[in-house]
Amino acid sequence: GQNIDQPTEMTATEGAIVQINCTYQTSGFNGLFWYQQHAGEAPTFLSYNVLDGLEEKGRFSSFLSRSKGYSYLLLKELQMKDSASYLCAVRDSNYQLIWGAGTKLIIKP
Amino acid sequence: ETGVTQTPRHLVMGMTNKKSLKCEQHLGHNAMYWYKQSAKKPLELMFVYSLEERVENNSVPSRFSPECPNSSHLFLHLHTLQPEDSALYLCASSQDEGTGAAEAFFGQGTRLTVV
């Protein structure tokens, strides 16, 4: 079966750095997405990786290793507004998105 | 108005009621989706429409009935639901059905409670 694993919850301190990991086992691979979802709001697109390596976008970076079935989202200079759930999703060989259950990130002052 | 808009934001319905969820996208996308989001569970894809034709139905019970009258509007008709159907129902749209880097844009969802 297809599976996306990510930690259920993480806690970090304002101003610090946090890395949210995502491992996947899917039938084929056509890209990996990270989304941010604040409580009660719509998921919003953060990043897309299809080739190995690091994609940097401001305070957020996303890394992909296809051979290891592994990605991480790196958040730097954490702000209180970064408290949210972070969803990892992989597009399989049928171009269907397979979603993880999300990682709830709690930022403490 | 921009993006993906869903109405209502909250809905409480009895098991014998019939109600409809509405989604409207103003992005010019040609694919629209219904997802179910339950607490601490992955997003579950329910239906996919591409160019107003249904291309995916992931074994969703018949008490959920989608309708896509045009590329900008998507409905989810609900009848005789069960308490376990209580969840957040999210609508999304994208340009092209999932190819390339086309990310999905989500609405804020309808929080459905079945009593």
- The verdict on a CB contact (< 8 Å) between B42 and A48 is no
Task: Mark the ranges of chain A whose per-residue pLDDT is less than 50.
Answer: none
CB atoms within 10 A of CB A75: 21
What's the pLDDT band for B97 if we cut at 50, 70, 90?
low
The residue behind tokens 């919003």 is A44
pLDDT (0 to 100) of residue B33: 93
Q: Which residues of B are less than 8 Å from A64 in CB distance?
A: none
Interface test with B, best of A99, A103, A104 (most B CBs within 10 A): A99
Range B94-98 average pLDDT: 73
Instruction: Confirm if A74 and A63 have CB atoms less than 8 A apart.
Output: yes
The A-side interface with B (CB below 8 A) comprises: 4, 8, 31, 33, 40-45, 48, 50, 87, 89, 91, 95-102
Cα B4 to its chain centre, rounded Å, is 11
Instruction: Confirm if A92 and A38 have CB atoms less than 8 A apart.
Output: no
pLDDT in tens, B6-28: 999 999 999 989 999 999 999 99
d(CA A60, CA B114) in angstroms, rounded, equals 38
pLDDT in tens, B70-81: 989 999 999 999
The residues with which A47 forms a beta bridge, in sequence order, are A34
Helix (H) or strand (E) holding A4: strand A3-5
Q: Which residues of B are less than 8 Å from A48 in CB distance?
A: 101, 103
User: Which residue in the set A44, A45, A99 is minimally distant from B43, CB to CB?
Assistant: A99
CB atoms within 10 A of CB B81: 22
